[in-house]
């Protein structure tokens, strides 16, 4: 039998009830090796075939660093709003679990970013599924950044910051900032300026094997460094951050008939007026 770990966001309405439902569904069909609905996920030291994430996209993102280190597939059940990453909504819990147990789901590999920088605590490395954001800590003041791509000086930026995202992350913060939507099966890096002062500062998509370095030009503020929405440090004048496509992938479990463009159309409301004569 499969070994399954249940994780999620206890603050989401319905998560506790979903745990009890999962216990009934999986009874005699799979082993539940642990349950943790806290934000500080800890996995047991035993084989795990699947992590079920109850919550939404944010709940899945909070688990990325832990899941990647153990190379465990993850399936998301959406109790939130958008749910671009999840396999099903809460009312479909029973059907998606039956599909998994019958082998009617597939693992989809998603590219990851690898962030490296130095801080007072030493060298820091993090993984991100969606994005790495360098942002001004004070929105009333601009931040000045410079960007190098594979050691080649690229551009300088004055504004609220910069988003470096994967194709998966193109539906997240980058989209809100005017970035392009990209099929998650396309491996690429997206650079999206945040509220730039110059109209020449435009979103750009670059090759996946490039290394992006970002440094601070001038100013007395240290921009925040955010990894999938989590604060991980500050960008200081004397240092740079490095972001590149990781050699690792996140394995997301979805129904075999999952279609990205259908999901995109539904979530963005395009399907409401879409008709083919």
Q: Which residues are catalytic?
A: 57
- Hey, CA dihedral for 84, 87, 258, 254, is it positive or negative? positive
By the 8 A CB rule, do 56 and 83 touch?
Answer: yes
Tokens encoding 181: 């939507």
CA distances from 51 to 8, 32, 174, 202 (A): 10, 10, 27, 38
- Hey, CA dihedral for 12, 16, 19, 25, is it positive or negative? negative
Quote the CA–CA distance of 105 and 147 in Å, as a whole number.
41
Residue-level length of the chain: 277
Tokens encoding 200: 């020449």
Burial category of 69 from C-beta neighbours within 10 Å (exposed 0-12, middle 13-18, buried 19 and up):
exposed
By the 8 A CB rule, do 135 and 160 touch?
Answer: yes
Among 134, 218, 215, 144, smallest CA distance to 177 is for 134
Quote the CA–CA distance of 144 and 156 in Å, as a whole number.
7
Quote the CA–CA distance of 223 and 77 in Å, as a whole number.
34
| DSSP structural state of residue 92 | G
Quote the CA–CA distance of 8 and 224 in Å, as a whole number.
26
């Amino acid at each position: 039998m499969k070994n399954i770990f249940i994780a999620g966001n206890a603050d989401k309405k319905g998560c506790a009830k979903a745990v009890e439902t999962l216990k009934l569904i999986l009874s005699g069909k799979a082993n539940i090796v642990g349950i943790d609905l806290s934000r500080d996920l800890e996995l047991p030291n035993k084989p795990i075939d699947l992590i079920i994430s109850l919550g939404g996209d944010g709940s899945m993102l909070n688990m990325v660093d832990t899941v990647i280190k153990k190379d465990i597939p993850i399936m998301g059940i959406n109790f939130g709003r958008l749910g671009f990453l999840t396999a099903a909504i809460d009312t479909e819990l029973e059907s998606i679990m039956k599909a998994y147990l019958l082998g009617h789901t597939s693992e989809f590999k998603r590219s990851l970013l690898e962030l490296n920088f130095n801080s007072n605590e030493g060298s820091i490395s993090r993984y991100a599924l969606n994005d790495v954001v360098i942002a001004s800590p004070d929105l009333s003041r601009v931040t000045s950044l410079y960007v190098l791509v594979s050691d080649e000086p690229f551009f300088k930026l004055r504004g609220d910051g910069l988003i470096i995202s994967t194709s998966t992350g193109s539906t997240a913060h980058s989209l809100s900032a005017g970035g392009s939507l990209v099929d998650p099966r396309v491996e690429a890096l997206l650079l999206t300026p945040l509220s730039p002062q110059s109209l020449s500062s435009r979103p750009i998509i670059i090759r996946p094997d490039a290394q992006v370095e970002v440094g601070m030009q001038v100013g007395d503020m240290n921009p925040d460094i955010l990894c999938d929405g989590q604060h991980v440090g500050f960008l200081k004048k004397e240092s740079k951050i490095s972001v590149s496509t990781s050699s690792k992938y996140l394995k997301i479990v979805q129904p075999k008939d999952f279609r990205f463009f259908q999901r995109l159309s539904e979530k963005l409301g395009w399907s409401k007026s879409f008709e083919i004569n």
